[in-house]
Amino acid sequence: MKITLNGKEIVITCETIFEIRKMHGHETDIIILNGFQIDHNCKISHGDILTLIPKGVMPKEDELESMMMARHTPTVHKKLKQGKVAIAGLGGLGSNIAVMLARIGVGHLLLVDFDSVEPSNLNRQNYTISHLGLPKTEALKKQINEINPFITIETQNVRVTEDNAAKLFSGYDIVCEAFDRAEAKSMLVNTLLSELPSVKIVAASGMAGYDTSNSICTSRVMNRLYVCGDLTNEAEIGKGLMAPRVLICAGHQANMVLRLLVGIKDV
């Protein structure tokens, strides 16, 4: 019978998963069968998709593609790999959005920020002590390369303005607005909506403090504009930006990007 093993179609005479692993892999390999990880032996069927993942070893590009495809299903993975997403601002929202999009295999990311990593960022942004002093674009690109070195990453170490926004983000399917200040958010959204008629924008507003997680949601406020957050809780004295709600909001933005890339426009 024919199966797909690590992305390649082969003919086998074996009857069970463990027999195939013994012939083509190692006893400690992780087994993913038709997108699901299993740890028990079972029969293999014609057309099954089997992935064997060695522990502690970086796979080749085609092997990693096969593993991610098995996890995501081929149709979804293909759409994500073809996606082009820009992230404007690499702080608490943007740094975490970028990492999530890298993990799901979005093929082309643009990272835009003018700032460097400083100690006050460590409470909620996806950086570590080793990144202190580095431009955020450089620090984040290094992290993503350690997650998936086969993603295309462009960086722009520049402040986004009304004059350069359209040029910076032209050619991208989706732009994630991840700025701290309300005026910068408004500038970016208004500029892109007026000057880039095909771009979709996933913005954020209201994730400060430690109110209930359940108030953070995603809304479609215009045809090409989505806003994530509770739209109320801004950072102020006594209500700072803290990791849990910031990451929840970043998750909403990343998930909305995922939905848009696979063709779902509803929230």
Report pLDDT for 55: 87
pLDDT > 70: what percent of the chain?
100
Q: What mean pLDDT comes out for the span 74-101?
A: 96
Please indicate whether residue 66 or residue 242 has the higher confidence score (pLDDT): 242
Residue 60 pLDDT grade (very low, low, confident, very high; cuts 50, 70, 90): confident
Residue 170 pLDDT grade (very low, low, confident, very high; cuts 50, 70, 90): very high
Q: How many C-beta neighbours within 10 Å does residue 61 have?
A: 11
Paired tokens of 249: 């909001």
Q: What mean pLDDT comes out for the span 64-76?
A: 83
Q: Where in the chain is the domain with CATH 3.10.20.30?
A: 2-72
Please indicate whether residue 65 or residue 187 has the higher confidence score (pLDDT): 187
Closest C-alpha to 6, from 37, 39, 32: 32
Contact 199, 169 (CB under 8 A): yes
Q: How many C-beta neighbours within 10 Å does residue 28 have?
A: 10
Residue 57 has pLDDT above 90, yes or no: no
Report pLDDT for 163: 97
Residue 248 has pLDDT above 90, yes or no: yes
- What is the CATH topology of the domain spanning 77-261? Rossmann fold (3.40.50)
Residue 201 pLDDT grade (very low, low, confident, very high; cuts 50, 70, 90): very high
Q: Where in the chain is the domain with CATH 3.40.50.720?
A: 77-261
Q: Is it true that domain 2-72 has CATH number 3.10.20.30?
A: yes
Please indicate whether residue 15 or residue 238 has the higher confidence score (pLDDT): 15
Residue 37 pLDDT grade (very low, low, confident, very high; cuts 50, 70, 90): confident
Residue 73 pLDDT grade (very low, low, confident, very high; cuts 50, 70, 90): confident
Please tell me whether the overall predicted TM-score, pTM, comes out greater than 0.85 for this model: yes
Report pLDDT for 233: 87
Distance, C-alpha 3 to centroid of its chain? 30
Residue 237 has pLDDT above 80, yes or no: no
Rounded mean pLDDT of the chain?
94
**H helices within 104-217, ranges in order?**
136-147, 165-169, 182-195
Paired tokens of 253: 């933005």
User: How many residues in total does the chain contain?
Assistant: 267
Contact 79, 122 (CB under 8 A): no
Report pLDDT for 123: 95
d(CA 241, CA 244): 9
Residue 236 has pLDDT above 80, yes or no: no
What is the torsional sign of CA 191, 260, 126, 141? negative
Closest C-alpha to 138, from 116, 164, 169: 116
Distance, C-alpha 244 to centroid of its chain? 18
Q: What mean pLDDT comes out for the span 94-110?
A: 97
